[in-house]
Each structure stands twice: as C-alpha cells, then as structure tokens.
C-alpha cells in the first residue's frame, strides 16, 4: 500500500557531492518518520539519517556535519544531500518510512535502493 522510489545515486569522486531523493506514495499518515539507511557489501544495514514529519532530524555520527536530510511533506518526499563524500560512504542507500497503522501496528516500508559509489 506504500511505495518508496529512490533516485539520485551514482559515481562521485572523493570530496564530491550527491543528492538523493525518495518519493513516497500510498497510504501515508500525517505523523511519520522518513529516513535513509545504507548497506555496504558484507556489512549490515545501518542508519544514516532520519527526519520526522515535524522536521526533527537525527544523524549517524559518521555523517554528521557532511550530510543533510530534509523533506517536503506536501510531496511526501525526503532528500539526502551528501557533501565531502568519502570512499567509506560507498553503499546501497535505502529510503525508509516508519508509521503506525491501527490494523498493522508499527511498520517499516523500504525503497528498492540506489547505489552510491565514491571512488577516484
């Protein structure tokens, strides 16, 4: 019932910038949290940043000061601006929506992922 579609991934040199977008559609409640997670080969998926519908943000220590998460509630879209990219930022980045339904309880929805590669 909820669909998330990411875009904006690609290849960038160390120190470069990239902007990811994620558009949500379906049964989106007014109160929710959207965020970005990433997974590198052989590693577990980890939180990158989250933002609530009230615009409260949270960042992983590894990206704090370099990445900026934002959202447009009218468009149900979340963005991730990535600056000063490092090779260790290379991963598949996934968009996430966290909301609570009276029927299904608290649920996470995931996008298909977009590849970000930082290399010279």
* Residue 34 neighbours by CB under 8 Å, 6+ apart: 22, 24, 50, 51, 71, 78, 95, 96, 97, 98
What is the structure's pLDDT at 14? 98
Q: pLDDT band at 104, cuts 50/70/90?
A: confident
Q: pLDDT, tens digit, for every residue of 32-79?
A: 999 999 999 999 999 999 999 999 999 999 999 999 999 999 999 999
Residue 65 tokens, joined = 């000061």
Give me the pLDDT at residue 93, please.
98
* pLDDT (0 to 100) of residue 103: 84
* pLDDT of 102 above 90: no
pLDDT at 1 over 90: no
The 10 Å CB-count burial string (b at 16+, else e) for 72-84 is eeeebbbbbebee
């Amino acid at each position: 019932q909820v669909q998330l579609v990411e875009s904006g991934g690609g290849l960038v040199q160390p120190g470069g910038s990239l902007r990811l977008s994620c558009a949500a559609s379906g049964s989106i409640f007014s109160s929710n949290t959207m965020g970005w997670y990433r997974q590198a080969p052989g590693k577990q998926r980890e939180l990158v940043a989250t933002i609530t519908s009230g615009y409260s943000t949270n960042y992983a220590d590894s990206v704090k000061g370099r990445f900026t998460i934002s959202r447009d509630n009218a468009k149900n879209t979340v963005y991730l601006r990535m600056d000063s990219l490092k090779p260790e930022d290379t991963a598949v980045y996934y968009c996430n929506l966290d909301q609570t339904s009276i029927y299904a309880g608290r649920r996470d929805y995931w996008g298909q992922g977009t590849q970000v590669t930082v290399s010279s």
